[in-house]
Structure 1
Amino acid sequence: MRGNDPNKPLVDHICKEMAPIVEARISQIPEIPGSDWRDLPNISVKLSDGTMTSKLRYPYLTKKQKKGEPNRGVCQCSVGMACEPADRQVNTLIPWCLPHTADRHNHWAGLYGRLEWDGFFGTTITNPEPMGKQGRVLHPEQNRVVSVRECARSQGFPDHFKFYGNIMDKHRQVGNAVPPPLGKAIGLEIKKALSKVILKTA
């Protein structure tokens, strides 16, 4: 990522560290517009810590699936029974919790989603997290979440603006901020309105 001034280093182009399984999931998301967790392959992979993931098992039908289709349910609640804690699967490339509740939550569209070069940030948040409400936080081509500087640019902060604290402090400062261009525009309108009031009373 280049800054506006090639003679000055770009500051805060840093990303959150992720757990090995999250890194593996991110690396498997295709680099194409609109891709998200639903594009994850159901495979076993070796993680950066040397452990292996498990394949997600689909032992149940779902209420919505048609005859002859392969099972899509990961818990007995998919056929109308109460959830069975023993059905929970851990350490899978496809996070078990997503297909478990997908039918009730618009299939969790956008989680582990890549941003598009010609797209937009839905919301700049205080903690870019692939499993968060604003899950489309992956770089379009690189296997990482967006950096502090990329989030700052989405809010309109100039590249010379510095943030302070650790990486999470910096993300909070960006996500909680009023975008500087918006603040300026509102300020100018207030100034205009006050000028009119002063002229009328003078």
Structure 2
Amino acid sequence: MSKRKDKKQSAELYRAMQARAQTSNADLDQRVAHELRRMGKFRFQLLHQWLIENFEPCRVADIGGGKGLLAYLLQQSGWDATVIDPLNQTLPDKYKNLATGQRVRIARAEHVPHRDQEFESRMARDFDLLVGMHAHGCNVKIIEGAVAFGRSFVLIPCCIIDEPVYPPHGIRWQQCLLDYALGKGRATHPFRLNFSGQNIGFYSRGTAK
């Protein structure tokens, strides 16, 4: 698929998700999803910046968080961040600071809390915010856990792998998940980050007091 066609399809999907969310949330929170626009492919840094602009520091689960860079960046911003991923990987030794354009080294002694297991919906009770960026096999569980315990969630779904719900013919996976969350009664809003690949997500604010 050409880059131009892929970009067009991505824009069409985003508009469709916006329309679906706005219609379903007519009597709920009408907060407009904020798009963070910055050139580059640094998805963890971009999502980190979006999160700190849209949520207060809290207990956050980075589900399927890989090497833990997102959790590390959130820790540096004063959040209580934990990676939930069955594969425990070490932090990268450096990353690019998008504000300064400089490479920042991460000391070997640095670490983030890590649960070496698959995410289950019941784990949501231990957190205020559930984050899943390309969290294969966990998207529906994240929504169900957030609904069950009144937690906030942020999803940027990608592939359909080991999920209990599959989209009907002609419906994209991202839109299917958004509809699933809306069907659970959660006000849900799409957003988009400017990195290469699947960069359309959606979020919902928790109901727990």
Fold match, TM over 0.5?
Answer: no
Which structure is higher in strand share? 2
Structure whose alpha-carbon radius of gyration is higher = 1
Instruction: Tell me the TM-score normalised to structure 2 length.
Output: 0.27
Taking structure 1 as the reference length, what is the TM-score of the superposition? Answer: 0.27
